[in-house]
Amino acid sequence: MRLGINISNELLEKFKPLKNVVNISQICRDAIQIRIESYAEALVQSKNDGMDKAAEKLFLEYSKKTYLDWESIGRKDAKVWVELASLEDLEGLFHNIATHKRKGDEPGPFLFPRLLPEAPHFGKHVSEHQEWFQRQIDLEQIDLEVQSNPYIEAEKIYNRGWVSYVTVVWQMVKDRIAADAITRQKEREKEDSKVEVPDNLLNPEK
């Protein structure tokens, strides 16, 4: 394998007197070999020193700065919204979701039929985690293969968690409605099945 090296004109000029005395390729190979051996020794020593724990600690610190569970954040916000919402709010929300679904739109909290100022939303978290967003932008500038907007991607994941949570609660409500309807139906059927017996049959002495 052939590799090229870059050296300054000044250094090349100083090397000229040695050109016929030493092999520059050998010098480079020797220098690389020395670096490899130094790294190998450091690798062994670092493992013996227990640096795996230090690396794990630093990785966790890195993770806190680069990873946020936006879906979990969406679920937590949805919990607050549900606790504040009325039945009409949920009915309106899922009516809007059904309408937008027919149009091929992605569901999200932007479909609120009524604003609930006390409920947290994605926009609030943008300012809270501005450092995280900036880091995502910096990482994407390093990795040229990544072409995405961290704000859009984060909101999409947040919305997924939010809508999933509210959908689960709405299903709980519908299950209770269905169970109540069945109970009422059984009670009506029970009432209808009662046979009225005339008093004279129940009390023949009268």
- Which H, E and C letters describe 79-138, residue by residue? HHHHHHCCHHHHHHHHHHHHHHHHCCCCCCHHHCCCCCCCCCCHHHHHHHCHHHHHHHHH
Among 21-35, 146-160, 187-201, the range of highest mean pLDDT:
21-35
Cα angle vertex 16, ends 26, 11, to 5°? 80
Q: Inform me whether the pLDDT recorded for 183 exceeds 80.
A: yes
Helices (H), 49-86: 51-66, 70-84
Cα angle vertex 29, ends 28, 31, to 5°? 65
Query: What proportion of the chain, given as a percentage, has pLDDT over 70?
Result: 83
Contacts of 81 (CB under 8 A, 6+ apart): 109, 116, 119, 162, 166
Cα angle vertex 88, ends 103, 76, to 5°? 80
Q: Inform me whether the pLDDT recorded for 206 exceeds 80.
A: no
Number of other CB atoms surrounding residue 11 within 10 Å: 8
State residue 146's pLDDT score: 55
Q: Inform me whether the pLDDT recorded for 93 exceeds 80.
A: yes
- Cβ 154 vs Cβ 70: under 8 Å: yes
Higher-pLDDT residue of 22 and 193 is 22
Measured CA to CA, the distance from residue 173 to residue 181 in angstroms comes to 12
Burial of 79 (0-12, 13-18, 19+ CB in 10 A): middle
Average pLDDT on 20-47 reads 93
State residue 105's pLDDT score: 72
Which tokens go with 112? 């609120």
This model's pTM is above 0.85: no
Confidence of residue 197 (pLDDT cuts 50, 70, 90): low
Confidence of residue 61 (pLDDT cuts 50, 70, 90): confident
State residue 148's pLDDT score: 75
Measured CA to CA, the distance from residue 41 to residue 24 in angstroms comes to 26
State residue 84's pLDDT score: 92
Average pLDDT on 145-174 reads 88
Number of other CB atoms surrounding residue 151 within 10 Å: 13
Q: Inform me whether the pLDDT recorded for 165 exceeds 90.
A: yes
Window from 72-76, 106-110, 152-156, 160-164 with minimum mean pLDDT: 106-110
State residue 161's pLDDT score: 94
Query: DSSP character for 18?
Result: G
Q: What average pLDDT is seen over the chain?
A: 84
